[in-house]
Amino acid sequence: MDRPRFERLVAEAIESLPDDFKEKLDNVAVVVEDLPSPAEARRYGRGGGRLLGLYQGHPLTRRDSRYGMAFPDKITIYQHNVEAICGSDAEVREEVRRTVLHEIAHHFGLDDSRLHELGY
């Protein structure tokens, strides 16, 4: 899949969020990269699995009144890894949505164990 189409899928996943959630993403940059760096893959990959996305930032639940004028949080979606586990464009669309929601959930303070319980 070409990059512009993949990026549209990411944008669609974000646009599908309720307005209340989208408003809380005002200081979050969402980017697409081909693959994580080797260091990111080692540090954040789990059990040798492919790293599909990565949230880097300070979750909303851990911010206090001193938080301000900060660099944006960053969500990265790794296109080649998403495509590698999918067999069709429809599967890519679903996995992009699932991965974007997973990383946004980290922004809202949910950890991986809770996301697993919820099916993400």
Residue 6 reports pLDDT greater than 90: yes
Determine the Cα–Cα distance for residues 116 and 120; give it in Å rounded to an integer: 5
Is the model more confident about 84 or about 41?
Answer: 84
Task: Tell me what pLDDT residue 70 has.
Answer: 67
Task: Tell me what pLDDT residue 46 has.
Answer: 72
Domain ranges, residue 60:
3-117
Is the model more confident about 106 or about 68?
Answer: 106
User: pLDDT above 70 covers what percent of the chain?
Assistant: 90
Instruction: State mean pLDDT over 96-116.
Output: 88
Residues paired with 56 in a beta bridge: 74
Task: Tell me what pLDDT residue 68 has.
Answer: 64
pLDDT in tens, 19-72: 988 988 888 999 999 999 988 888 888 766 789 999 998 887 776 666 666 678
User: Can you tell me whether residue 82 is helix, strand or coil?
Assistant: helix
**How many domains is the chain built from?**
1
- Please report the DSSP string for 86-103 in residue order: -SSHHHHHHHHHHHHHHH
Average model confidence (pLDDT) across the chain: 88
The one-letter code for the residue type at 19 is D
| H helical segments located in the chain | 3-15, 19-23, 38-44, 79-84, 89-107, 112-117
Residue 120 reports pLDDT greater than 90: no
Report which DSSP code applies to 69: S
Buried b (16+ CB within 10 A) or exposed e, 9-42: bbeebbeeeeeeeeeebeebebebeeebeeebbe
Residues 16, 94 contacting (CB under 8 angstroms): no
The CATH number that applies at residue 72 is 3.30.2010.20
Q: Which two tokens stand for residue 5?
A: 């189409």
Reported pTM? 0.88
Task: Tell me what pLDDT residue 115 has.
Answer: 78
